[in-house]
Amino acid sequence: MSAPVGIAVIGLGVIGRRMLEQTALRQDLRVVSAWDLDAGARTRAQADFPGLTVAADAAAAIAAPGVDVVYIGTPPGVHRHYARMASARGLKVFCEKPLAVDVDEGRQMVGELAASGTPSAVNFVYASAPAARALQRAIDDGSIGMPRAIDVHLFFSRWPRDWQASAQWLRLRREGGFTREVLSHFVFLMMRLFGDCRPIGASVDWPEDEGLCERALIARLDCNGVPALVTARAGGAGPDEVRFTVRGDRGALRLENWYKLSRSDGSAWQPQPLETGGAHDVRTAAYQAQLDGLVAFVRGNPHGLPDAATALRVQATIEALLAPAA
């Protein structure tokens, strides 16, 4: 039996803690070391995850014996910095999205990873969700006919969301906003389903405070001949809404609130059964499928995780949508 893959977790905020929770469910992965710039985050992680080794600094976490891959779960402004540190140690890189703080830095990061021969993967976890995988199978087998349109609708009563309260950088125009944080998942999914998606036009509503992120976005894209319409807004009363709909000429499929899949053949939407692979819920199934890919990636086996170059294409598309009024 192969030894577990060893991970250094850099970043112990909401997303980093989720990585700790999910790796704890597996025998083929182990967190060797962890670190966060914030002392409070380090203290909370040690209290909540008994046995977790929190290093003195990022360099010590990355240099810990037994580390095979560095997971970068920090704000994007420092992704490139930690990727460089991992590359210098000859380690693989598993990074959160967006890849970097802007396209230029993302391009430099991709170039540095390639030049150093550092294998990379980026964590678009939603594409591994049972609903997203079922949608892809249905499109591939032609059960909804020829895809004719894509609709993406996002609404958040507040941004950042309550569970992201500790990640106030998500409020900032420089590296935050729901377009980068949430829409990027669906741009990646559209690219996976249909190939490259080309921005056609966008309108962005920015607040008066130039330091804050967007309030609303309307955008059009062309995904290899399939038109996509995006409507997104933050602020106002009502429950959060996340919908991704693919409309074919014989039926339509809708992903809703991340983990639900429904189908319509012209009448009311009907919930579709989903396979969870033994996980107790669809969210855990998504993360575990993503971690299956991570283990395969580190061990040099076939996997479905996108690399940094693919994530750069997503980021370039996202930044093009934000550019008209930025």
- Single residue among 123, 147, 182 that ends a domain in this structure: 123
Q: Are residues 142 and 274 in the same domain?
A: yes
Residue 71: the pLDDT is 98
The CATH number given to whatever domain includes residue 180 is: 3.30.360.10
- pLDDT for 326 equals 42
Distance CA 292, CA 158 (A): 33
Within a domain: residue 39?
A: yes
Q: Assess whether 97 and 158 both reside in one domain.
A: no
Q: Compute the distance between CA of residue 272 and CA of residue 127 in angstroms, rounded to an integer.
A: 17
Residue 301, in any domain of the structure: no
In a domain, 259, yes or no: yes
Q: Judge whether 62 lies within some domain.
A: yes
Query: What is the pLDDT at residue 73?
Result: 97
Residues 112 and 20 in one domain: yes
Q: Is 51 part of any domain?
A: yes
Residue 130 and residue 59 share a domain: no
Q: How far apart are CA 73 and CA 110, in angstroms?
A: 17
Comparing CA positions, the residue from 178, 318, 152 lying closest to residue 242 is: 152
Asked if residue 213 and residue 235 are part of one domain, the reply reads yes
User: Is the residue at 153 inside a domain?
Assistant: yes
How many residues in the chain?
Answer: 326
pLDDT score recorded for residue 324: 58
CA-closest candidate to residue 161, choices 217, 219, 242, 51: 242
The residue range of the domain holding 94 is 5-123
Mean pLDDT by 10 residues, the chain (326 residues): 94 96 97 97 96 97 98 97 98 97 97 98 95 94 96 97 91 96 97 94 96 98 98 97 97 95 96 87 93 98 97 97 71
Q: Which residues contact 50 (CB under 8 A, 6 or more apart)?
A: none
| The two structure tokens encoding residue 167 | 């990640």
Residues 38 and 105 in one domain: yes
pLDDT of residue 57: 98
Burial zone of 325 (CB within 10 Å; 0-12 exposed, 13-18 middle, 19+ buried): exposed
284 plus 165 within the same structural domain: yes
172 and 74 in one domain? no
Q: Note whether residue 138 is domain-resident.
A: yes
Last residue of a domain, one of 73, 105, 123: 123
Residue 88, domain CATH:
3.40.50.720
| Gap between the Cα atoms of 91 and 120, Å rounded | 9
- Residue ending a domain, choose from 79, 106, 123: 123
- Same domain? For 96 and 142 the reply is no
CA dist 88 and 247 (Å) reads: 47
Please count the structural domains in the chain.
2
The reply to whether 228 and 252 lie within a common domain is yes
179 with 319, same domain?
A: yes
- Residue 104, H or E segment: helix 103-116
* Nearest-10 crossing angle of helices 39-48, 14-23: 20
Give domain status of residue 294, yes or no: no
**Pair 119, 132 in one domain:** no
pTM attached to this predicted model: 0.95
